[in-house]
Structure 1
Amino acid sequence: MAHQTKFGSGDFGKTPSRIQVQMPERLSHPDVEQANANPDFSVERKHPVHIVNLPSHALSMTIGGLIPGGRSGRHRHTYETILYVLEGRGYSIIEDRRIDWSAGDALYIPVWAWHHHVNSDPDKPARYLACENAPMLQNAGGLAIREEAL
């Protein structure tokens, strides 16, 4: 792994006028949901979560699932989330607001807002795609923080 240079405010004049494309070796993650859900991450979140493993330094993507009648744990984090419902129906409680959702809907989870997700269908699972800016905050100095409610 290449050493990364840290810049300070006095280095602002070193900002280049051009950038060079840095092509990573891996540009795809086939069959994301065919691999087992990330076990530790899924247990901690109380529902299956498949992490998309791509070399983005700014965005993350996961595919989450809620079993019929299931729910995620209540939590909050310092990164924004946009959630797109792939299948199923249910609702999310974001702070004190209930947001009903079904396949094809998108939701926004604001920074540091307490929230959890509920699959209201007793017979069918729900699946969603979540995109977050957590890696950008992690790379800016460990600013991506997540807190689980007790």
Structure 2
Amino acid sequence: MNTQQALVTGAKFTSNDFHKTYARPHFRRPDKLIHRNVEQAGEHNQFSTERKHPVFFVDLPTQNVSLTIGGLLPDQVTNRHRHTYETVLYVLAGKGWTEIEGERIDWQAGDAVYIPSWAWHRHQNASSTEPAKYLACENAPQLQNLGVALREEEGRDL
């Protein structure tokens, strides 16, 4: 039985059938291909409150990666938190630092920072006068779709 036949009949593959699976990718056009003026859509209230800084979700139908815009006000520091998904931050503006498992990583505009899965971390703006802003790319949707995405906020979930 090939993959197409299994899909039609509803049959399930087992580990013994691994050699019988043949990918047949197909294009499915999503309803939405662009999210215009992301920051004008407003902050994501839950994440902004939990992280103690403005967070804007990019609302596109991605199933494997997500993109958010994070802002840090002058002197602002986020809650320590951790999650099972990886994160790459790309700093758009400002200077600050990210603490990852107790190690301080200083960053500035143009830098990229990697946060491994399940590492306790937090972010702080180093400026008392200027905001900082970054893009956060994560594989959260992929892990959510697999049912293994977890997130903890220090002091709340422990």
Match of 1:131 in 2: 137
Aligned partners of 1:31, 1:8: CA distance in 2, in Å?
A: 44
| Shift, 1:16, TM fit | 3.9
Match of 2:14 in 1: 9
Structure 1 consecutive aligned stretches of length 4 or more whose deviation exceeds 4 Å:
5-8, 10-14
| Shift, 1:44, TM fit | 1.3
Aligned partners of 2:63, 2:12: CA distance in 1, in Å?
A: 17
Aligned partners of 1:66, 1:110: CA distance in 2, in Å?
A: 21
Which has a greater percent of helix? 2
**How many pairs are equivalent?**
145
What RMSD, in angstroms, separates the aligned Cα atoms of the two structures?
Answer: 1.7
What secondary structure sits across from 2:39 in the alignment? Answer: helix
TM-score normalised to the size of structure 1? 0.90
Q: Percent identity?
A: 56
1:67 aligns with 2:61: no
Aligned partners of 1:26, 1:127: CA distance in 2, in Å?
A: 25
Aligned partners of 1:6, 1:121: CA distance in 2, in Å?
A: 58
Consecutive unaligned residues in structure 2, runs of 5 or more: 1-9
| Shift, 1:74, TM fit | 0.4
TM-score normalised to the size of structure 2? 0.86
Aligned partners of 1:49, 1:143: CA distance in 2, in Å?
A: 23
1:81 partner amino acid: T
* Aligned residue among 112, 130, 149 for 1:144: 149
